[in-house]
Amino acid sequence: MELVGVYDNGSIIDPEVVSITPADIITRFTQNVGNLTSMSLALNIPTQLSVPHMMANAFKNVAAIALETDYDLAILKTL
């Protein structure tokens, strides 16, 4: 698709003024994906983007509890 011009309130803007590159679109898209993931995590709403982060955070919490309580796997081997 090639931009020929932009019509805005009775005036036509040249394509040089409105120069959006594919790199600009990709940058904005990735920023918005990051914003969506952050919002999903903050609201505790599982989405395809936030579930991997939720799982990693849950693992970190379990590991922190295990380290704080001096949990040892050797105890399980004796049972």
Q: Report the distance separating Cα 59 and Cα 34, nearest Å.
A: 21
pTM of the model: 0.56
Q: Per-domain residue ranges for the chain?
A: 6-78
Q: Select from 22, 1, 4 the least CA-distant residue to 13.
A: 4
Dig out the tokens for 73 from the structure: 């796997």
Question: pLDDT of 11-48, one tens digit each?
Answer: 888 877 777 788 988 999 999 999 999 999 999 999 99
Angle ∠(20,8,13) on CA atoms, nearest 5: 50
Q: Report the distance separating Cα 18 and Cα 14, nearest Å.
A: 7
Query: Stretch 44-65: mean pLDDT, rounded?
Result: 91
- Are 46 and 54 within 8 A, CB to CB? yes
